[in-house]
Amino acid sequence: MTLITPVKKLEQLSPTPEQDKALVKVFEQHVLDSQHPNFAYLTFTDWIVKDVHKAMYDDCIMAAVPDMWLGIETDGYTHS
């Protein structure tokens, strides 16, 4: 299994500045200090590598957070 670095992952995601800001906000609101077993003690970069992905047919970025997935549109709009 090949491990991907946070830098490579961000290159793959190529987030807009608005998506970048939204990712930080989502991490702070849903993941940071989470006690959920899949998210406890994750750093921002660990979370990006493990739980954030580019949508297959869209410029949306999909982010896993405890108990749901969030979509982050190119303008930063975030929805479940």
The predicted pLDDT at position 3 comes to 83
Note down the domain range covering 63: 11-79
6: in domain: no
51: in domain: yes
SS3 (DSSP) at 44: helix
The predicted pLDDT at position 6 comes to 85
pLDDT above 70 covers a percentage of the chain that reads 98
The total number of structural domains that make up the chain: 1
Q: Is the pTM for the entire model greater than 0.75?
A: yes
Detail the DSSP E strand segments found in the chain: 52-54, 61-65, 68-72, 78-79
